[in-house]
A and B are shown apart, each in its own frame.
Chain A
C-alpha cells in the first residue's frame, strides 16, 4: 500500500436516523465520494488529492467504517434514499458525485433520481448494471472466489498494493470484516447489480465521466465502456497501471482526470446538451 500520512478522524453526523461517519477535507464546491468495497481510509493519498480543489465529503455507508446501520436498513434502495437525503443537507450550488466500485453503483442510482441537483458524475470502476448474457457474469464473484484470485484480479500490482492482513491492527481487521459483511448485505442478490438500472441510466442529467482501471479484473473495462454508452454524453477513459482500485493504485492519475474533467465546468456554464 502507498505511504500514508496521519489525518484527523472522520466526524459522525445524523442523516435519516443513521449515525453516519463522514470524512470531510478541503474547501470549495462539494464532491460527494461514495466508497466501494471498503470505506475510505483517511490516510489514503487520494483524500488530499481530491481535497485540493473541492470540499471532499466521503461518508461510510451504514454498516461500513463507523457508520451505524438500523436493523431495518439493508438494501441498496435504503442507501440511495439515504444519500438523496444527504444531498439535501448540502448547500445549493455545483455538486460533484463520485462513486468507486460498489459506490459507483450507488452514485449512478442517485444520479438517476437526483435530476439536475448533480452537476457532474464520476463513476470509477462502477458496478450496478447487467451487460452480458445470462450465463456470463460481468462482475467477479468476490465472495465465492478464492481470496488469492480476488487479489490477482483486483490489482494491477498485487505485490505492492494488496492489503497485508498480517500487518494490520485488530481494529482495522474488524472494520474490514464489518465492511465485507455489509457489502454482502447490500450486494449479494442479484449480485452487485440492479437489473432495472440499465433502463434508467438514460435519465441521468449530470455530465458524466466513466473512469476505469485498465487492468481491472473484477469488472473489465469493456463493461465500463458499455456503462458509458448508456449514459447520455458520458465520456469513458481508462487509467493505466491500475486494477479495480485506481484511487489506491494510481491516485495522482485519478485525481488529475477528475480535475481535468471538472475544470472546464464553471457554475452557470452550459450543462450537458441533453439537459
Chain B
C-alpha cells in the first residue's frame, strides 16, 4: 500500500465570534480576516511538512478549495509546482484542480505537464467534481457539472497524449481550436489519473475508465458502496477486475505515543469538520444541480413529513451529502469520528488496526491518503505525528501487496 500525506493549509486564525456571526465561513467570509503574513508562515510550515513526508517515504497530495478558512490552496498548480521542485522521491498527486470550474482545460493540461516535467515524472493527476462554495467562487453553475467533468478530463488526456501538432476540440462545454502543449508531459502515455467521487453513477464511470478511485472521509458504508459500484461496472463492461491499486481512501490521521495523545491530536484535526464546514444553504443544498430534483423533499423541508410518494425518498436515499448531516459533523467528537471511519487516531498499533478494519470492510484499497494537519495543530505536533506514522505504521502498510479488489466480498 502507498501512503500519501495531505494538508489543505487551513487558516484557523479567525476569532470565534466572527465565525459565529458569519452565515458561511466558506465562499463569503471577507478576506480582511486573512493576514497575508500569517498565511506566509503557514505556507512555510506546511511545505516543510510536505518535505518531511517526502523524506520519510510518503507521497504527497495537493488539493484545492476556494475562499474560506478551510484551505488557502485556491491555486493548486502553484503548490504542485513547488512540490515538483522541492520534493525528491515522493509522487505528487494533485487532487485536484477543479476542472469543472475552470474555463479552459487546456491550461490545466499545460500546468500539469509542466509540473510533471519539473518533477521528472512524479506527478499524478486527480480530479474532483467540486461543490457549492467552490462554485460560487468560480462563477460557474453546478448544472451539467458531471458532463463538464468528463469532457474536461477527456480534453486534458487528449492534450497530454497528443504529440503530432495542433488538434482541435469542439465539444459541448469546451472549445479550443489549437491545442499543442509545450512542454509535453514527462510520463508516457500520461500521468496516472485519479477521481474522487462517491456517487454510484460517477463511481461506475471511474471503474470503467480504470482511474484510481478515491473516497474522502466517506466512512465504511459509503466507501464500500462506491467501490462496489466501481467493481460492478467493470464486470458489466466485460473489463478485467481491478486490483486494490485502483482504490484509495482519505481520512484524518493522527498518531501519538499514547492513545490519549493520538485522540487529542485527532480532536484538533476535527476542526476541519466542526469549524470550517459552516456553509450557508445557498452554497450547498439549494444550489441548482447540487442534487437531483427528486431529492427536493429532503432538501426543502425544515421538518419531516409523511411522504406520499414512494419514488422521491427512494431516489433521495442515494443522494445524501458525502459527509452526512452538517450539524452532526460540527459537534463530532474524536471517538465518534473514529467509529465512523473519518478519523484514524491513537497509537501506531491502534491506527494500523483502524485502517485495516476499513480495508477489509470496503474490499481493499491500495492507497491511504493521510490528512495530517488541520485547525490549530502546531508545526511541531504535525511533524511528530508524521514521523511516528512513518516509523511505526508505514512499514506495515507497505507490506500489503496489491490483490484483486473486493476479494472477500460477494
How many chain A residues touch the partner (CB < 8 A)? Answer: 25
Mark out the residues of chain A between 184 and 212 whose CB falls within 8 Å of any chain B CB in the assembled complex: 184-185, 188-189
Give chain A residues whose Cβ lies under 8 Å from the Cβ of B307. Answer: 170
Q: How far is the CA of A74 from the CA of B143 in the complex (A)?
A: 11
A144→B293 contact, CB < 8 A:
no
The verdict on B286 contacting chain A, using a C-beta distance below 8 Å, is: yes
Given contacts A170-B307, A170-B312, A176-B300, contact A181 B288 (CB under 8 A): yes
A177→B295 contact, CB < 8 A:
yes
Give chain A residues whose Cβ lies under 8 Å from the Cβ of B289. Answer: 181, 184
The verdict on A133 contacting chain B, using a C-beta distance below 8 Å, is: no
Q: Which of B140, B143, B313 contacts A185 (CB 8 A)?
A: B143
Q: How far is the CB of A184 from chain B (nearest CB, A)?
A: 4
Q: Mark B5-42, 1 if CB is under 8 A from A, else 0.
A: 00000000000000000010000000000000000000
Q: How far is the CA of A168 from the CA of B286 in the complex (A)?
A: 16
The verdict on B282 contacting chain A, using a C-beta distance below 8 Å, is: yes
Q: How far is the CA of A145 from the CA of B299 in the complex (A)?
A: 17
Q: Which of B282, B305, B308, B309 contacts A146 (CB 8 A)?
A: B282
The verdict on A135 contacting chain B, using a C-beta distance below 8 Å, is: no
Q: How far is the CB of B218 from chain A (nearest CB, A)?
A: 25
Q: Which of A147, A173, A175, A184 contacts B288 (CB 8 A)?
A: A184
Q: How far is the CA of A174 from the CA of B311 in the complex (A)?
A: 11
Q: How far is the CA of A74 from the CA of B173 in the complex (A)?
A: 12
B282→A145 contact, CB < 8 A:
yes
Q: How far is the CA of A88 from the CA of B85 in the complex (A)?
A: 65
B301→A166 contact, CB < 8 A:
yes
Residue in chain B with minimal CB distance to A185: B143
B303→A173 contact, CB < 8 A:
no
A173→B141 contact, CB < 8 A:
no
Mark out the residues of chain B between 160 and 197 whose CB falls within 8 Å of any chain A CB in the assembled complex: none
Q: How far is the CB of A138 from chain B (nearest CB, A)?
A: 17
Q: How far is the CA of A189 from the CA of B23 in the complex (A)?
A: 25
Give chain A residues whose Cβ lies under 8 Å from the Cβ of B300. Answer: 165, 168, 173, 176-177
Q: How far is the CA of A166 from the CA of B283 in the complex (A)?
A: 21
B288→A174 contact, CB < 8 A:
no
Q: How far is the CA of A74 from the CA of B288 in the complex (A)?
A: 14
Give chain B residues whose Cβ lies under 8 Å from the Cβ of A74. Answer: 144
A174→B294 contact, CB < 8 A:
yes
Q: Mark A139-154, 1 if CB is under 8 A from B, else 0.
A: 0000111110000000
Given contacts A144-B136, A147-B286, A176-B296, contact A171 B143 (CB under 8 A): no
The verdict on B408 contacting chain A, using a C-beta distance below 8 Å, is: no
A181→B293 contact, CB < 8 A:
yes
Q: Mark A58-76, 1 if CB is under 8 A from B, else 0.
A: 0000000000000000100
The verdict on B281 contacting chain A, using a C-beta distance below 8 Å, is: yes
**A interface residue numbers (CB < 8 A to B):** 74, 143-147, 165-166, 168-171, 173-178, 180-181, 183-185, 188-189
**B interface residue numbers (CB < 8 A to A):** 23, 136, 139-144, 280-283, 286-289, 293-297, 299-303, 305, 307-309, 312-313
Residue contacts A-B, CB under 8 angstroms, 24 given = A74-B144, A143-B288, A144-B136, A144-B282, A166-B301, A166-B302, A170-B309, A171-B309, A173-B300, A173-B301, A174-B294, A175-B293, A176-B300, A177-B296, A177-B299, A181-B143, A181-B288, A181-B289, A181-B293, A184-B143, A184-B288, A185-B144, A188-B141, A189-B141
